[in-house]
Structure 1
């Protein structure tokens, strides 16, 4: 009987997975905290983790019996895949759970920026309302540039077309049939940057596309353009973003992901400032986050785009299938390093 430990669990996760795994006779333990060196269990054969867990080689070494890591996410950046391969540990993931969920959230950020919702709410709260300070812009007639035209990007395109936007997209593996079916065009990176009123990132992060949007890219973008990122924080250079927001070239940014996400936790922010063992990189990210949070045309949210009742059920359903598959000698949704 395999000991299975499910880390970083909310009540929703616990209820869902109890329901989905109730017919099994394996030992299942729920832990609220993320997996770390401190919370690692030497007897665990299977662990299920969210993106806040640490699956470094050091943590894996604390679990000599570990044979399966079931990620409750599409991304696996929190897992040392090479170390897992060396230790003969299978890594599974959730390939699709919220195509429209994340796309809808990207438009939540965009609409909030286009209509200055954050500033409006603050003005109402202070009873200091000047409508001239709250003038926004229509999405109808504007051009949306999508980087990453997979399932989420395609969902974003459908939503944009519903608003009367023109949609152009870049993808290293363009699916022309889908583009024709939905009604968007493919273009190269530079063309999109120069034409788009809004740029939305929907691509996975790899070492090859770190800072996909950097100084040169922001300089190419239209005056007043909006940047939306619900993909991965490492896809854009925050220092360059701050520069182009500050000089007025960019009109705003909606960031659900960013480098230094952990710093939205006050305890982690204090630790970054006080602990000499924390890296200079983390301290720099803390400064960047402080500046971005102070900008009225920037909206920052805590990696929340996935977070709906329906998407959480789909995540847990696929995770349960991955765990059960492992127990019975199958490996559905096994992550393969490309």
Structure 2
């Protein structure tokens, strides 16, 4: 089987190569670096979330039979085009719900106890003055969890460990889980209105894109803290900027930014003779968030632990091996 593997880190090549023996594996960092002959012969391609696979890319791979993404999300792949071309698309449905949930709480605790400010004050000025470093308890606060998949449920369990009140919204609620775990399903607007902390754990689709927007954010409880470790496109960036200015949102912990790919290659976006103005606007808004004193931005690392990354690779290797043996495992819904 001719496999094209778009890697993120160098060590992946040895790890994957030692476990997918008997195949012709080509490794590249980006699709743009792959020669035409390798593209034309590729039967399987493995990608990460920073590798976009659209119809025009598939057109260059006439023998492609399987796209396997090393992620839970798959909005970076044109699923409709793949199905039209009879290309199977598989993913990693679960690699560590605890991993992302722990990071969501790491962001929340850093904000609630002003840990970045305290560290900066001590390291930069040597001052141990506590007057500007008073935070707030999580106990007794209401956290609203948007999305009750594996990660959302793990967040709910952790929140109960902090003695928090938990509300949840999901268009497809899991029957019985609310009574089992001790939380309450409510409507989307009610969750925004009653939550002291809002933590987003939804997948990105046409129906969820910009679920937090200028209109919905008006229903948010004044002073709420917003956490997003899911997908950047779930939040309309300009709406978050305005909500911070108006102090509707008091603080935010963001691991995923809208147009975060453009943040990596800003020069290309800016020198493009016909730049996408919406993308440009979002990049500028992202800079506002990065520089904001009440916002913590991290570079999409909620998944990034040794254990989780190896689970992602092991599941991907299993997905490819199953396909070679005539089985489709972990097909995207």
TM-score interval for Structure 1 and Structure 2 normalised by the shorter chain: over 0.9
Question: Aligned with 1:133: secondary structure?
Answer: coil
Which residue pairs with 1:332 in the alignment? 329
Q: Tell me which moved more, 310-319 or 277-286.
A: 277-286
Rounded to whole Å, the distance in 1 between the matches of 2:40 and 2:79 is: 20
Moved over 6 A (4+): none
Which residue pairs with 1:298 in the alignment? 295
Alpha-carbon deviations, 1:292-329, whole Å to 9, x = none?
11111111111111111111111111111110111111
Contact 1:34 / 1:50 at 8 angstroms: preserved in 2? no
Rounded to whole Å, the distance in 1 between the matches of 2:52 and 2:314 is: 22
Which residue pairs with 2:50 in the alignment? 52
Which residue pairs with 2:284 in the alignment? 287
Cα RMSD over matched residues? 1.6
Which residue pairs with 1:103 in the alignment? 101
Question: Aligned with 2:176: secondary structure?
Answer: helix
Rounded to whole Å, the distance in 2 between the matches of 1:313 and 1:4 is: 19
Rounded to whole Å, the distance in 2 between the matches of 1:274 and 1:124 is: 41
Question: Aligned with 1:325: secondary structure?
Answer: helix
Residues 23-102 of structure 1: pairs in structure 2 closer than 5 A: 24-31=21-28, 33-36=29-32, 41-102=39-100
Uncovered stretches (5+) of structure 1, i.e. residues with no partner: none
Which residue pairs with 1:249 in the alignment? 248
Please say if 1:227 is aligned against 2:223: no
Question: Aligned with 2:132: secondary structure?
Answer: helix
Contact 1:73 / 1:93 at 8 angstroms: preserved in 2? yes
Provide TM-score, normalisation by structure 1.
Answer: 0.93
Alpha-carbon deviations, 1:134-189, whole Å to 9, x = none?
11111111000001011100100111111111111011111232222222111111
In the TM superposition, residue 37 of structure 1 has moved relative to its aligned partner by 7.5
Which residue pairs with 2:204 in the alignment? 205
**Alignment length (residue pairs):** 330
Which residue pairs with 1:216 in the alignment? 215
Please say if 1:319 is aligned against 2:319: no
Please say if 1:161 is aligned against 2:160: yes
Rounded to whole Å, the distance in 2 between the matches of 1:140 and 1:98 is: 25
In the TM superposition, residue 19 of structure 1 has moved relative to its aligned partner by 4.1
Alpha carbons of 1:52 and 1:97: their partners in 2 closer, same or farther (altered >3 Å)? Answer: same
Contact 1:8 / 1:53 at 8 angstroms: preserved in 2? no
Contact 2:5 / 2:26 at 8 angstroms: preserved in 1? yes
Q: Tell me which moved more, 177-186 or 193-202.
A: 177-186
In the TM superposition, residue 8 of structure 1 has moved relative to its aligned partner by 2.4
Question: Aligned with 1:48: secondary structure?
Answer: strand
Rounded to whole Å, the distance in 2 between the matches of 1:81 and 1:164 is: 41
Contact 1:9 / 1:30 at 8 angstroms: preserved in 2? no
Contact 1:16 / 1:313 at 8 angstroms: preserved in 2? no
Residues 141-152 of structure 1: pairs in structure 2 closer than 5 A: 141-152=140-151
Rounded to whole Å, the distance in 1 between the matches of 2:8 and 2:22 is: 20
Please say if 1:307 is aligned against 2:304: yes
Rounded to whole Å, the distance in 2 between the matches of 1:246 and 1:128 is: 30
In the TM superposition, residue 233 of structure 1 has moved relative to its aligned partner by 1.1
Contact 1:7 / 1:48 at 8 angstroms: preserved in 2? yes
